[in-house]
Structures are given as structure tokens and as C-alpha cells.
Chain A
Amino acid sequence: RKEVEQDPGPFNVPEGATVAFNCTYSNSASQSFFWYRQDCRKEPKLLMSVYSSGNEDGRFTAQLNRASQYISLLIRDSKLSDSATYLCVVNGGDSYGQNFVFGPGTRLSVLP
């Protein structure tokens, strides 16, 4: 089993749609969780950190379920500019506390 798994995608949705991405991780000792966005041929950039209580930033909502080792990202009212690959990133929490594991990414295309 891979350490971090994501929906395989790609997701093709119309503008205005709501889309949800799922991510599961295998290391129960993981401490920090993130969603990164990567545009084609660009570097990954932080979209949201994910907290146990869940967090929202505008149209984006992230949820964490530690018991199920599951993370989600919800995008409401999709925009053309949301088209990108979304990476689930988990900090595995090794002795240095800095062991980042990346999911393979889920590609989103928002269509006009």
C-alpha cells in the first residue's frame, strides 16, 4: 500500500460545480497535513493546511479524519482558474519531524 493515496482523476467539471478530492495516508503517526496546488510545469504551492477541526478558506474546505486516516478537499463554485493538479501532502513525523510524503496528485480541469 502506498503511503499517501489520492483519487486517480482526472476530474473534468463545469464552471460552478462542486468537486471533492479524497486522500488517505498509512502512517498513523503523521502530524501535519496539507493540500498543495501545482499548475502545469510549475512548482507546487500551498493551498491549505488541514487541521483536525476542519478549516475553510473562501470556496475551499479541508477536513481531516485521524481515526480513518483520511483527508478531503472540497471546492465550491469551481472557476476556470482552479484547473490544476492537487497534491495531498502528509508530514510523517519522523524523529526530525520533517518527513513529507506526497500523494500522486489529482488533476482537475474546470470547463467553460
Chain B
Amino acid sequence: NAGVTQTPKFRVLKTGQSMTLLCAQDMNHEYMYWYRQDPGMGLRLIHYSVGEGTTAKGEVPDGYNVSRLKKQNFLLGLESAAPSQTSVYFCASSSPPVLAGGTGELFFGEGSRLTVL
């Protein structure tokens, strides 16, 4: 019963390095999201996708890129990491909204802890 799976769980980067976080979900959800969580800031939306081949910017998109080539996968890329991107990153997918017959519930991955030195 995997749900939402994120890899890697931990990563340390040097400033300027690039990396990709992978998110996979097995619930056939259309909507997927990338959030970052920082102490005292709560969860902030980076990018989201409403279906295969689509992506959109969230609240804090600068410095990140995303791709949704397959419905089950949502990739988050950092092209040139900065210390300000040190954070915990959560991927999530959501069931259809209530008006569409779903529960509208968000399901989260376990998180990826990124440190940029």
C-alpha cells in the first residue's frame, strides 16, 4: 500500500549543484503537488500539476522546475541549489474534489530533507 513515495529521503548539496526529487503515486490521482516546509512558515506550495503533461506555479516557484511526463510521477528539480533552499520537501497527491465525487483529501509522501551548504 505505497501511496505517495518520495526519493531521496535525505540529500546534502553544495551551492550551485543540481538535483532532482522524484515523487511517485499509485492512486491514479490527477492532481499532484510539491510543498516546502520551513520552521515557523508552514507548508508552502512550490508547483503543482492538474494532470499528465501539465504544471503550474505555486506560491514559491523561483529556483525550482517541475515535470509531469507520466501521470504517476512528478519531478522537482533544482538547477542551481542555494542555501535558502535548505528545507523539507513534501510531495502530495489529492483525490478528486467533493463536487466531483471524491473526498478532496491530500495524501503526502514522507518528505525529503535537503541541506544546501
Contact = CB atoms under 8 A, between A and B. Distances in A.
B74 interface: no
B109 A98 contact: no
A96 B50 contact: yes
A100 B42 contact: no
Interface string B90-117: 1000100111100111111111000000
Contacts of B110: 42-43
Nearest to B107: A46
A89 interface: yes
A34 B105 contact: yes
Given A46-B105, A89-B106, A91-B104, A31 B42 contact: no
B31 interface: yes
Interface stretch (A19-27, A67-75, A101-109): A101-109
Interface residues of B, number: 24
Interface residues of A, number: 23
A27 B17 CA distance: 39
Contacts of B27: none
A45 interface: yes
Contacts of B105: 34, 46, 49
Interface in B24-52: 31, 33, 40-43, 45, 48, 50
A107 to B, nearest CB: 11
B90 A43 contact: yes
Contact of B108 (A41, A43, A105): A43
A49 B99 contact: no
B111 A31 contact: no
A97 interface: yes
A55 interface: no
A9 to B, nearest CB: 12
B55 to A, nearest CB: 13
Contact of A98 (B40, B97, B103): B97
Nearest to B44: A102
Contact of B111 (A42, A46, A91, A105): A42
Nearest to A36: B106
A54 interface: no
